[in-house]
């Protein structure tokens, strides 16, 4: 009989020491370790972006590499000058790519060089949302052959993320309380908090207000396309461990 009681006691201890996991929540009740409930939660904050960047491409052709390069440089310099005139700061204009290469006639078995082409790409950043469309028009009017974008950013990203982070921490407690009640234990204080993955894709690099840009920057007579930024989602994830009694 004594042996049977020992077996029952051991079985009960094994059950009590089992990890219960469901929906991102873990309950640990083991006499050899601190008793904890660990739960995860996430929270989202939606906010309208107020900054943007876009790409500009400049293409030119010439009979020689020198001519193509010169024409490409003249067009690129004109685009940069127009952007500065429109109010874009020099630090917000970056040449990201430039290339001069031959063009070929592929109609015969032996392709022949027919000329040369120049390709240059510029990145414009720190633009106010309301100025993006006009700045794109400025680039086209100055000689750019293409624009691509915009990509959106939030200058108040840090504040929005911190709010989402706080809301995520708060959201873990009801889950932990529900698990504690089901396990027949009392929920104690927080003993650890771990931050999850953070996507900083919408974070404005310097988090500073850029210089105000001109909003009437389109060429005379041109129609400025409306930019509709909508809202972006900023998410925070946390893992919180609570003591249990």
Q: Tell me, what CATH number does 175's domain have?
A: 3.30.110
Spatial neighbors of 179 by CB under 8 A, at least 6 apart, are 20, 25, 27, 37, 39
| pLDDT above 70 for 210 | no
User: Quick check: 40 pLDDT over 90?
Assistant: yes
Give the domain range for residue 69: 51-153
* Positive or negative torsion for Cα 234, 237, 243, 245: positive
The CATH number given to whatever domain includes residue 110 is: 3.30.70.2970
pLDDT band (50, 70, 90) for residue 64 = very high
What is the model's pTM?
Answer: 0.68
* Whole-number Å distance between alpha carbons of 17 and 29: 5
Residue 137: pLDDT over 50: yes
Do residues 82 and 144 share a domain? yes
220 located within any domain: no
Per-residue pLDDT at 179: 95
Task: Count the Cβ atoms, other than its own, within 10 Å of residue 150.
Answer: 21
Out of 1-5, 152-156, 240-244, pick the least confident: 1-5
Shared-domain flag, residues 35 and 16: yes
Cβ–Cβ < 8 Å for 224, 137? yes
Confidence at residue 168, expressed as pLDDT on a 0 to 100 scale: 97
Cα 23 from Cα 211, distance rounded (Å): 47
Confidence band for 226, pLDDT divided at 50, 70 and 90: low
Condensed to tens digits (0 to 9), the pLDDT of residues 80-135 reads 999 999 999 999 999 999 999 999 999 888 889 999 999 999 999 999 998 999 99
Considering only residues 26 and 72, tell me which one the structure prediction assigns the higher pLDDT.
Answer: 72
**How high is the pLDDT of residue 225?**
57
């Amino acid at each position: 009989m004594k042996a049977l009681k020992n077996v029952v006691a051991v079985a009960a201890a094994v059950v009590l020491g089992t990890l219960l996991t469901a929906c991102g929540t873990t309950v640990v009740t083991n006499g050899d370790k601190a008793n904890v409930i660990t739960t995860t939660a996430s929270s989202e904050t939606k906010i309208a972006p107020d900054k943007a960047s876009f790409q500009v491409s400049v293409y030119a052709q010439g009979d020689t590499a020198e001519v193509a390069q010169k024409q490409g440089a003249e067009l690129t310099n004109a685009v940069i000058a127009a952007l500065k005139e429109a109010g874009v700061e020099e630090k917000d204009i970056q040449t990201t790519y430039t290339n001069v290469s031959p063009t070929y006639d592929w109609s015969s078995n032996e392709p022949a060089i027919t000329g040369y082409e120049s390709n240059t790409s510029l990145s414009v950043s720190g633009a106010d949302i309301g100025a993006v469309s006009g700045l794109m028009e400025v680039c086209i009017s100055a000689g750019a052959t293409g624009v691509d974008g915009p990509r959106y950013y939030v200058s108040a990203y840090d504040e929005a993320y911190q709010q989402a982070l706080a809301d995520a921490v708060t959201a873990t407690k009801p889950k932990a309380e529900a698990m504690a009640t089901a396990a027949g234990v009392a929920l104690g204080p927080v003993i650890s908090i771990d931050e999850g993955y953070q996507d900083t894709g919408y974070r404005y690099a310097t988090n500073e207000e850029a210089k105000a840009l001109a909003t009437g920057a389109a060429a005379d007579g041109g129609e400025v396309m409306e930019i509709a930024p909508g809202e972006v989602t900023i998410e925070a994830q946390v893992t919180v461990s609570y003591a249990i009694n």
